[in-house]
Amino acid sequence: MPNTLYDALFSKHAGSGRPFLHLKDGSSISFADFLAMAARFAHVLKAHGVETGDRVAAQLQKSPEALAVFAACVQSGVVVLPLNTAYTADELDYFVGNAGAKLVLCDGAAYEPLRPVAASHGATLMTLNQDGSGSFAREAARQPAHFETVDRGPDDLAAFLYTSGTTGRSKGAMLTQDNLLSNAVTLKDYWGFSEDDVLLHALPIFHTHGLFVATNICLLAGSSMIFLPGFNADDVIANLPKATSMMGVPTFYTRLLDDRRFTGELVSHMRLFVSGSAPLLAETHIAFEQRTGHRILERYGMTETNMNTSNPLDGERRAGTVGFPLPGVELKVTSPETGEELPQGETGMIEVRGPNVFKGYWQMPEKTREELREDGFFITGDLGRVDERGYLHIVGRSKDLIISGGYNIYPKEVELLLDDIEGVLESAVIGVPHPDFGEGVVGVLVPEPGAAPDPDAVMGALQDKIARFKQPKRIFLLEELPRNAMGKVQKNALREQFSDCFAA
């Protein structure tokens, strides 16, 4: 039966003994064995009543098995919700409930905290550990290695990716099969991937970068991946000689530059380094080229669209820019006030349209109407300008979005928690330049009269409330927050005041 995404990415590899995943321990998994694993997983989904169009929430440590869950969902026509492994049980309660997940997959260590969450929403809870063990894997071992692929078309939903809102209420971006496939097809060609490539993959797979960009390109091209559990400088340096390409966030590249073993000779054979998910500092770009002779290729994407623009594979890769609109993607810069397109060179709101743009926000028609125009253009919320040579510059973000280490953080969610802490009158959360993470989260507090909150105690109070990447790395106290005549907090002034707080 036809299944747009499965047929393009997976079924063509049926029976192939070529290695797909090279693992840290030196072993490898062939395309055929990976597909057999996914088929067994699909049988387990069906056995637990997960039907076509149902949602499966997966908060899993990175592993071949976790990746096979994605393949199983595609093959069985199920919508997958990849969830950040740092999310707490309180945060997952919203995702599971909002999506109406039929099944929740988690690490064994999270089973007890998540059991009441799953029960409250009528979802089945099963475990799948990083070492491949767990109740889900045990059931799969008894299943056949073939599954009849479910019929799904290009407009059918393939995934929900949740992205925070400024009010703290997360939005489920609905991505179709064609959203994912069209972007992979474009990027495979634009970045020149083939079956001869070996991608060093140290990214998480609950994020669009590691799951839908890196993995889908490799599946489409028939490339193999060195599939590391995460970024570790020793592991990356040991495996770079076996790779032809690497995708990473800026932190990967700053950490490598800090290591004397990372030399031009080590990567002289490499074809391509790609960076994204957070701004790459120009000095990192320059230092990397001086050390290795390679110019990092920077690109621009988002949860709702996958990739929108890219510096060229052949041609000038300009530091501080994210290149040109990808083939098939239309981009314009508009006035945030009127929505009218601005002349080249002027700064405004970035809007994009193309087959990569998502279908809308799950059960949020009003938010969909606000951000997705009737003519198909998506209002990204990012501010930018296009220079005289057509390169896009990202110059800021509306709604004070912070991107730290490749993860989106909306200040309001953190501020609400800070404001609830004893002794805190009000708070403002900002992002300022950070040498490793692109931006670091900073909390600025105004104490209640007579109170003196301890910054360390404040940070400690947040540990079990929100994911670690959202927690402020520094806390400062002020007598009052700067405001304009209308009483609005001037976060630009705070960003300027604390801009060098992470400087060496």
- Has residue 412 been placed in a domain? yes
Domain boundary residue among 97, 129, 153? 153
Angle between helices 31-47 and 64-75 in degrees, nearest 10: 60
Contacts within 8 Å (CB) and 24+ apart, 232-239: 232/202, 233/258, 233/259, 233/262, 235/24, 235/202, 236/200, 236/202, 237/261, 237/262, 237/266, 239/22, 239/200
> Which domain range does residue 453 map to?
402-497
Q: Are 224 and 27 in contact (CB under 8 A)?
A: no
- Rounded Cα distance between 301 and 162, Å, is 15
Pair of tokens at residue 19: 């290695």
Cβ atoms of residues 110 and 59 within 8 Å: yes
Q: Is residue 166 part of a domain?
A: no
Q: Confidence band (pLDDT; 50, 70, 90) for 485?
A: very low
Average pLDDT, integer, range 462-468: 91
Check pLDDT > 80 for residue 278. Answer: no
Q: Looking at residues 72-95, what average pLDDT do you find?
A: 94
> What does 426-490 look like in DSSP terms, one character per residue?
EEEEEEEEETTTEEEEEEEEEEPTT----HHHHHHHTTTTS-GGGS-SEEEE-SS--B-TTS-B-
Domain count, the chain: 2
The CATH number of the domain holding residue 420 is: 3.30.300.30
Task: From 137, 153, 169, give the residue that closes a domain.
Answer: 153
pLDDT tier for residue 165 given thresholds of 50, 70 and 90:
very low
Residue 136 lies in a domain: yes
CA 227 to chain centre: 17
Distance CA(349)–CA(397), nearest Å, equals: 9
Contact of 438 with 253, CB cutoff 8 Å: no
Residue 422 lies in a domain: yes
Mean pLDDT for the stretch of residues 373-402: 87
* Position 478, amino acid: L
Could you tell me which residues are beta bridge partners of residue 81?
A: 57
Residue 125 lies in a domain: yes
Listed in sequence order, the residues at least 6 apart from 68 whose beta carbon sits closer than 8 Å to its beta carbon are 34, 37, 38, 41
Is the CB of residue 398 less than 8 Å from the CB of residue 381?
yes
Among 151-165, 289-303, 323-337, 392-406, name the one with the lowest average pLDDT.
392-406
Find the range with the poorest average confidence among 60-64, 369-373, 404-408, 473-477.
404-408
Determine what percent of the chain is predicted with pLDDT higher than 70: 97
Q: Tens digits of per-residue pLDDT, 169-194?
A: 789 999 999 999 999 999 999 999 99
First to last CA, the chain: 58
Question: Mean per-residue pLDDT for 294-308?
Answer: 95
Residue 334 lies in a domain: no
Query: Per-residue pLDDT for 1 more than 80?
Result: no
Question: Domain end: 106, 138, 153, which one?
Answer: 153
Q: What is the model's pTM?
A: 0.83
List the one residue out of 292, 246, 295, 234 whose CA is nearest residue 268.
Answer: 292
Tell me the C-alpha to C-alpha distance, in Å, between residue 210 and each of 164, 177, 215, 392, 492.
Answer: 19, 17, 6, 23, 32
Beta strands at 438-447 and 424-434: parallel, antiparallel or unpaired: antiparallel
CATH code at 37? 3.40.50.980
pLDDT higher than 60, residue 30: yes
Q: Quick check: is 291 in a domain?
A: no
pLDDT of residue 384: 87
Residues 6+ apart with CB under 8 A from 117: 89, 92, 93, 96, 104
| Residue 167 domain-assigned (yes or no) | no
Euclidean distance between CA atoms 258 and 126, whole angstroms: 41
The predicted model gives 306-320 an average pLDDT of 94
